[in-house]
Chains A and B, each alone.
Chain A
């Protein structure tokens, strides 16, 4: 029932654009070289996670600055199950996703039950992610700070079941995940729950007086967002094959996740996707260009992110997508 009105209020123009984009993305690996493919994988990874984060912040108005926690929990759980017991990632998901969802629910419960809101909520999300980072540094089962490695070989074929294979397989998995996340987010936004989230985001007290159990709906938002994010973590583990707490749970990972949606447009459906394309795409281009002229500047990417963020905040505080959607003639509801 939730998906029955999926194409309601979608103009032909939007459908055509969407179809064209999908064709390009599905065809891209046939044209792209290895380097471009890894960039595209990174873009889709951020497009997917950005959407998950956007459910919490963009829809329900709860600022999380610790989404690396859910990526890390997903990644570590699935990787450890594989390394120790030979359990494949798709089965591992059944453990990893609930663990991340529980972690989200735990943070949500603490915060919402005791009325920790706004920046204090954001600080709590950072604190738990940092706690996990330090904790995993000392957790022998996942090899602590020396890192957890998945066995790697030169893969000539793609084993979709065990996620052992070439980058192109990960590209398609992330593409499908991104598309599904988009469809899911749109369905959520058009449903009762979506309206309640927006109401809470806009004015929590007014939402309560309109009969909304704000605690319940905020809990749902955190749990869904955490669960979705952890899936990306599982893919991350099997794509990179190595996990270090210092990297996976680090706050800079959490910040990276939220840059795309902020640049693209918080609370919009397409914003996180376009934000990921612009930021990751442009920063990788920049670095490639720097390399081409023989420069290797550490931190160039971060500086670039900073400049992008500044420009967007000053020129388009609602993000690029609402502006772009107007330019290409999409309606208010299609943003």
Chain B
């Protein structure tokens, strides 16, 4: 499989803190790739560099064969990378449907087309029946799915998911896992940051483990969870 996203030697420093330290990895086209690690390991900083919020101090990011580091977030999204936020940010006063229409309008000029596309996405994410509600009235699991829906509506090739399972009950987690698997089967490449190992093990084809901004392990899930350094710094022996 060719790489859809190539991250090559990127670093990011905030004053004295080296948040991300010379990271290199490839996300294969059509794959599901997970980034795990303890809090403060630099996962969200990494995401924000890919999504165009931060410019890396060093290194390059290539998406579909083109350099994207240094582009603005809207530009990155237009190239085909959708993202969610760790702390959800729906448009609170807008209806669920309108939230998703905003995303759908990125590649569509006609509002009716966008609404039709939004409906399709809402059905996939079990939110169709709640489309008329205000986004601010949704429960946390629904809001997380709404974030995914809004970002999916922009027709991304790569979806960046920042802890979409955090705070969900196991049944809700399983539901999102099955939705993501389905989307992946239809050709969507997924890069996820996740703490919920149950979801990571169920989804990821490959895992990257970060600690203090640096990669301490990378590989197939089964290898990674047996890696002593990973157990030491993150998982703990009994966790799996």
Seen from chain A, the residues whose Cβ lies within 8 Å of a Cβ on chain B are 5, 190-192, 195-196, 198-199, 202-203, 205-214, 267, 332
Report yes or no: A206 in contact with B111, Cβ–Cβ below 8 A.
Answer: no
With A203-B91, A205-B89, A212-B106 given, is the CB distance from A195 to B154 under 8 Å?
A: no
> In this complex, what residue of A is CB-closest to B80?
A211
Contact B111 A208 (CB under 8 A): no
In the complex, what residue of chain B is closest to A214 when comparing beta carbons? B74
Q: Given B73, B93, B94, B105, which contacts A209 in the complex, CB threshold below 8 Å? A: B73
A191, A199, A206, A208 pick with most chain B CB within 10 angstroms: A206
Instruction: Find out whether the CB atom of B85 lies under 8 angstroms from the CB atom of A210.
Output: no
The complex places the Cα of A212 from the Cα of B77 at a distance, in Å, of 9
Contact B111 A202 (CB under 8 A): no
Shortest Cβ-Cβ A-B pairs, 5 listed: A202-B91, A211-B77, A211-B106, A206-B89, A208-B73
B103 at the interface (CB under 8 A from A): yes
B72 at the interface (CB under 8 A from A): yes
CB distance from A262 to the nearest CB of B (A): 16
Check if A206 sits within 8 Å of B90, measured CB to CB. yes
Contact: A195 with B111, CB < 8 Å? yes
Q: Out of B73, B77, B111, name the residue touching A192 (CB < 8 Å).
A: B111
User: Nearest CB to that of A216 among chain B residues?
Assistant: B74
Selected A-B contacts with CB under 8 Å, 24 pairs: A5-B111, A192-B114, A195-B102, A196-B102, A196-B105, A198-B102, A199-B91, A202-B91, A203-B91, A203-B92, A205-B73, A205-B89, A206-B89, A207-B91, A208-B72, A209-B77, A210-B77, A210-B103, A210-B151, A210-B154, A211-B77, A211-B103, A211-B154, A332-B132
- For the complex, what is the distance from the CA of A190 to the CA of B114, rounded to whole Å? 12
Task: Determine how close the nearest CB of chain B comes to the CB of A124; give it in whole angstroms.
Answer: 23
Q: Is B161 an interface residue (CB 8 A)?
A: no
| Residues in A whose Cβ lies below 8 Å from that of B90 | 203, 206
Contact yes or no, A190 B102, CB < 8 A: no
**Which of A195, A202, A203, A211 neighbours the largest number of chain B CB atoms within 10 Å of its CB?**
A211
- Shortest beta-carbon distance from A331 to chain B in Å: 10
Cβ of A190 and Cβ of B111 under 8 Å apart?
yes
